[in-house]
Amino acid sequence: MSAEKRVRVGYASCGIAAGASEIYDELMDTLEGKDVDPQVDKVGCMGMCHNEPIVEIDDENGRYTYGNLEVEDVENLVEDHLIEHVPYEDKLITGPEEEYDYFSNQRKVVLRNSGEINPESIEEYMDAEGYEALEKALDMDPQEIIDTIKESNLRGRGGAGFPTGMKWQFAKDAKGDEKYIICNADEGDPGAFMDRSVLEGDPHAVLEGMIIGAYATGASKGYIYCRAEYPVALKRLDIGIKRAREKGFLGEDILDSGFSFDIEIKEGAGAFVCGEETALMHSIEGERGMPRPRPPFPAQQGLFDKPTNINNVETWANVPWILRNGAEEFSSMGTDESGGTKVFALAGKVKRGGLVEVPIGTTLREVIFDVGGGIEEDKEFKAVQLGGPSGGCLPKEYLDTPVDYETLTDAGAIMGSGGMVVMNEDDCMVNVAQYFLDFTQEESCGKCTFCRVGTKRLLEMLDSFSKGEGSSEDIEKLKEMADKIKKHSLCGLGQTAPNPVLTTLRYFEDEYETHLEEQTCEAGVCRDLITYTITNSCVSCGTCVEECPSDAISEGEEKYVIDQEICIQCGACEEACPIDAIEVE
Amino acid sequence: MELECENCGHEWDYQGESEEYAICPECDYEMEIPAEAEVIAPQRDIEDILDKHPKEPSSLIPILQKTQEQYGYLPRDVIERISGYLDLPESKIYGVATFYAQFRFEPQGEHVVRICHGTACHVKGADGITDAVEDTLNIDSGETTDDGMFTLERVACLGCCSLAPVIMVDDTAHGNLTREKAKEVLEKYRGKNT
């Protein structure tokens, strides 16, 4: 009866974490015995993480998006929309008439199918023009494909931004009887989840891109090196590879073209440095994942010493689109130096976090305020962190910076893989630098002295700064050491590890000085420099006493009081106080 | 194998080498292992894993991953067997295994609690959540509770940044946490087991 209705449940990791599987189960239970039979699918990330869990219903009027659903809503949703044909207003985010302004500045290329198709169905991918680019490519000369990629201005989306077409050319021109290609899916930056979402939402786009790349460069075997922490992505890739083999897109003599190629998945074992290409290849070979000097570059001597081309997930996912729509269409988006779009994982103190895809050259302000809706609780924007531990924090003066490789590098940050974490007045920049250094010194593989010892020393200095110990001379020492680590480390990890320190120093040096000279942390983060006090509005309810892990709170004459000698500044009382009567200074 | 102490009634997952006697970790009582208790023969399991992987160095990491999936950690005698199969010295295998954060050399608790310390979680209070979880379980990160129920780990990023702060218990992520909610989540898992 209502078979034309289609229901999509957002079923990426974020959605599942927010309760999508309970919603899906309840939906299926509720539909049982009802006189409706819509097509219900689990789809990938819809990009609106701030509204998870999400259900979308397509009917004759168009698309209705429901968000922030709870299990109790499902019955009403089914009754109202699927049976009575009236939208369930309580949880409606947008209907077909209005455009959700979250999407108005976005342009979907890499995420074109994510949230639209069932990622486990190759047929749905094919219905959405999937594998047409492969058919087209197999009729082309490999050089013609590489020329198209060059013209498109596609650059590596893993962070460094090397022109993809040129990389392919090196691999094609390299001499060798056997060549490999690799998809780098070892997304290790904390605060980044773009690649995970692409793999979960549209695995075939990545596979199709890889098959085309293999044909163009003459590779016979491909590897996907994916983090073991991404079980959903791994499962969908595995299903995708099996289906692609059944359809003849992978294996011997692909589509009767005489070209043979197959793909194997390798699970990463949890080492951040394996995102570096030579370290990644060592890991596939069964070794410790440590980088080696280049040259020789992987294009000449890569995996198992054979010519190897390695690209990131998002780069591969762009390839089929470029071949279908043409290089010109792609390069018309973006800037003169860099074509296409970039996917960002927008998170932190922003109202609408999620997966955002915008043309390269869009400004930070447009991403954070127009797409992201501004700062949570309308607080003051302080900084945006781009590029994870290799990147930097940009202040509000840089909000009108367009996001592309060159401008962000000039500003001291990097495009990076796409993590974008927004910070407000409650975040301390010394603490942020300390946080990233803690990460990089932990993940340093230990090969180079400057990285291994230098990051440790940097962290120690930041630790003492956070306690108010040190002098302005120490700040100079910090800068000098950061500079040496950058210059004398072998791989990207060490070369970029000081960036979070250097950018916070460049834009927020006054904050370092207040820590050292006035022994205060204005943001109220560094535990050794803050005190919690109970104000006169205390109603003596006793909640804080129960929460305090160190028993530092006792009943005073008119209100509760904190014994500063015992207090460990954990903030549990502040979080628990029902009337906000606890202040931090 | 699951054993119940004949002296104090304590139940635990026995991982010892002897097939005849076990010592209760709770009261140190030495008891005979009942004949009907299922004896897992590690040798047979590891052979199944090895059979599926070619004898080449690049199989090492996948074999270690499957081994850990099977046993929950990398038991010493199994590493010996892998060493023989791949013709790699044990020192080499330990060298690789200790490099990667994924591998453990001791059994883990029934539930693994991973506290996310990604950037978004950090700025949204992961430290407070860590305090609350450590306090509730009465262990530090990296440790296992005495009753063997929970192992606590710090992880760099779980990739659910929009739901920060996040913890993951086994394979399920729990987001938008406060200290209070984090405690409730753990209590729920504790409840399931008693």
Smallest CA–CA distance, residue A536 to chain B, in Å, is 25
Distances in whole angstroms, Cα of residue B81 to Cα of each of B15, B16, B44, B67, B85: 18, 18, 11, 11, 6
Q: Residues B38-61: what's their mean pLDDT?
A: 82
At residue A343, the 3 state secondary structure works out as strand
Q: Note the pLDDT of residue A345.
A: 93
CA angle, A420 then A421 then A424, to 5°: 140
Report the mean per-residue pLDDT for chain A. 94
Q: Residues A285-306: what's their mean pLDDT?
A: 95
Q: Note the pLDDT of residue A383.
A: 96
Determine which of A172-186, A456-470, A541-555 has the lowest per-residue pLDDT on average: A541-555
pLDDT at A213 over 60: yes
CB contact under 8 A, B100 and A271: yes
Q: How does residue B28 score in pLDDT terms, banded at 50, 70 and 90?
A: confident
Provide, as residue numbers in chain A, all residues whose Cβ is less than 8 Å from the Cβ of B62.
Answer: 266-267
Q: How far apart are CA A521 and CA A512, in angstroms?
A: 9
pLDDT tens digits for B161-171?
Answer: 888 999 999 88
pLDDT tens digits for B180-189?
Answer: 999 999 999 9
CB contact under 8 A, B162 and A14: yes
Choose from A102, A226, A288 for mutation: most chain B CBs within 10 A: A288
Out of B95, B100, B178, the one facing A269 most closely (by C-beta) is: B100
Smallest CA–CA distance, residue B100 to chain A, in Å, is 5
Answer yes or no: CATH 3.10.20.600 is held by domain A341-424: yes
Which residue of B lies nearest to A387 if distances are taken between CA atoms? B119
**Residue A111 and residue A313 in contact, taking contact as beta carbons nearer than 8 Å:** no
CB contact under 8 A, A18 and B99: no
pLDDT tens digits for B123-178?
Answer: 899 999 999 999 999 999 989 999 999 999 998 888 888 889 999 998 888 989 99
Q: How does residue B39 score in pLDDT terms, banded at 50, 70 and 90?
A: very low
pLDDT at B104 over 70: yes
pLDDT at B37 over 50: no
CA proximity to A225, closest of A194, A187, A172: A187
Provide, as residue numbers in chain B, all residues whose Cβ is less than 8 Å from the Cβ of A571.
Answer: 128
CA proximity to A584, closest of A509, A513, A526: A526
Out of B122, B164, B175, the one facing A18 most closely (by C-beta) is: B175
Smallest CA–CA distance, residue B133 to chain A, in Å, is 11
Report the mean per-residue pLDDT for chain B. 87
Q: How many CB atoms lie within 10 A of CB A567?
A: 18
Choose from A224, A226, A273, A287 for mutation: most chain B CBs within 10 A: A287
pLDDT tens digits for A489-519?
Answer: 999 999 999 999 999 999 999 999 999 999 9
CB contact under 8 A, A269 and B163: no
Choose from B160, B171, B174 for mutation: most chain A CBs within 10 A: B160
Smallest CA–CA distance, residue B9 to chain A, in Å, is 32
In CATH terms, the fold of domain A122-331 is Rossmann fold (3.40.50)
Q: How does residue B43 score in pLDDT terms, banded at 50, 70 and 90?
A: low
Provide, as residue numbers in chain B, all residues whose Cβ is less than 8 Å from the Cβ of A285.
Answer: 57-58
CB contact under 8 A, A193 and B160: yes
Strand partners, A357: A343
CB contact under 8 A, B128 and A570: yes
Q: How does residue B38 score in pLDDT terms, banded at 50, 70 and 90?
A: very low
Q: How many CB atoms lie within 10 A of CB A25?
A: 12
Out of B117, B132, B163, the one facing A18 most closely (by C-beta) is: B163
Q: How far apart are CA B78 and CA B50, in angstroms?
A: 11
Complex confidence, ipTM: 0.89
The secondary structure of chain B in percent helix, strand, coil, rounded to multiples of 5, reads 40, 15, 40
Strand partners, A92: A66
Provide, as residue numbers in chain B, all residues whose Cβ is less than 8 Å from the Cβ of A429.
Answer: none
pLDDT tens digits for A376-409?
Answer: 999 999 999 999 899 999 999 999 999 999 999 9
Using CB atoms within 10 Å of the CB of residue A312, give its burial: 0 to 12 exposed, 13 to 18 middle, 19+ buried: buried
Q: Note the pLDDT of residue B40.
A: 46
Provide, as residue numbers in chain A, all residues whose Cβ is less than 8 Å from the Cβ of B172.
Answer: 17
**Residue B99 and residue A291 in contact, taking contact as beta carbons nearer than 8 Å:** no
Q: How does residue A310 score in pLDDT terms, banded at 50, 70 and 90?
A: very high
Provide, as residue numbers in chain B, all residues whose Cβ is less than 8 Å from the Cβ of A445.
Answer: 99
CB contact under 8 A, A190 and B119: yes
Q: What top-level class would CATH report for the domain B42-99?
A: mainly alpha
Q: Residues A535-554: what's their mean pLDDT?
A: 91
CB contact under 8 A, A286 and B58: yes
Q: Residues A67-72: what's their mean pLDDT?
A: 94
Q: Residues A460-464: what's their mean pLDDT?
A: 96
CB contact under 8 A, B99 and A288: yes
Where exactly are the structural domains of chain A? 6-94, 122-331, 341-424, 429-517, 531-584
Q: How far apart are CA A129 and CA B90, in angstroms?
A: 51
Answer yes or no: CATH 3.40.30.10 is held by domain A6-94: yes
Q: How many CB atoms lie within 10 A of CB A4?
A: 10
Q: Does B100 touch chain A (CB under 8 A)?
A: yes
Q: How far apart are CA A570 and CA B138, in angstroms?
A: 16
DSSP character string of A245-262: HHTTSSBSSGGGSS--BE
Q: Residues A522-549: what's their mean pLDDT?
A: 92
Q: Note the pLDDT of residue B7.
A: 80
Q: Note the pLDDT of residue A476.
A: 94
CATH number for the A531-584 domain, one of 3.20.20.210, 1.20.1430.10, 3.30.70.20, 3.30.200.20? Answer: 3.30.70.20
pLDDT at A469 over 80: yes
Q: Residues B12-16: what's their mean pLDDT?
A: 80
Give me the residues of B, 2-21, that contact A with CB < 8 A: none
Smallest CA–CA distance, residue A460 to chain B, in Å, is 19
Smallest CA–CA distance, residue B186 to chain A, in Å, is 16
CB contact under 8 A, A193 and B159: yes
CB contact under 8 A, B157 and A191: yes
Provide, as residue numbers in chain A, all residues whose Cβ is less than 8 Å from the Cβ of B161.
Answer: 49, 191-193, 345, 347-348, 353, 419, 421
Dig out the tokens for B89 from the structure. Answer: 């010295």
Smallest CA–CA distance, residue A558 to chain B, in Å, is 27
pLDDT at B35 over 80: no
Provide, as residue numbers in chain A, all residues whose Cβ is less than 8 Å from the Cβ of B180.
Answer: 576
In CATH terms, the fold of domain B111-193 is Glutaredoxin (3.40.30)
H or E stretch covering B62: helix B60-71
Beta pairing class for A39-43 and A6-10: parallel
Provide, as residue numbers in chain A, all residues whose Cβ is less than 8 Å from the Cβ of B59.
Answer: 286
Give me the residues of B, 116-175, that contact A with CB < 8 A: 117-120, 122-125, 128, 131-132, 135, 155-164, 166, 171-175
Q: How does residue A549 score in pLDDT terms, banded at 50, 70 and 90?
A: confident
Distances in whole angstroms, Cα of residue A313 to Cα of each of A110, A185, A237, A267, A412: 10, 6, 12, 15, 25
In CATH terms, the fold of domain A429-517 is de novo design (two linked rop proteins) (1.20.1440)
Task: Name residue A489's amino acid.
Answer: S
Where exactly are the structural domains of chain B? 2-32, 42-99, 111-193
Choose from A187, A193, A444 for mutation: most chain B CBs within 10 A: A193
Using CB atoms within 10 Å of the CB of residue A50, give its burial: 0 to 12 exposed, 13 to 18 middle, 19+ buried: buried
Q: How does residue B193 score in pLDDT terms, banded at 50, 70 and 90?
A: low
Which residue of A lies nearest to B61 if distances are taken between CA atoms? A286
CB contact under 8 A, A286 and B173: no
Q: Mind spelling out the 3-state secondary structure of A352-364?
A: CCEEEEEECCCEH
Task: Name residue A279's amino acid.
Answer: A
Q: Note the pLDDT of residue B42.
A: 54
Provide, as residue numbers in chain B, all residues whose Cβ is less than 8 Å from the Cβ of A500.
Answer: none
Determine which of A178-187, B32-41, B135-144 has the lowest per-residue pLDDT on average: B32-41
Q: Note the pLDDT of residue A44.
A: 92
Provide, as residue numbers in chain B, all residues whose Cβ is less than 8 Å from the Cβ of A229.
Answer: 155, 158-159
Using CB atoms within 10 Å of the CB of residue A295, give its burial: 0 to 12 exposed, 13 to 18 middle, 19+ buried: exposed
Q: Is A420 left (phi over 0), alpha (psi -120 to 50) or beta?
A: beta
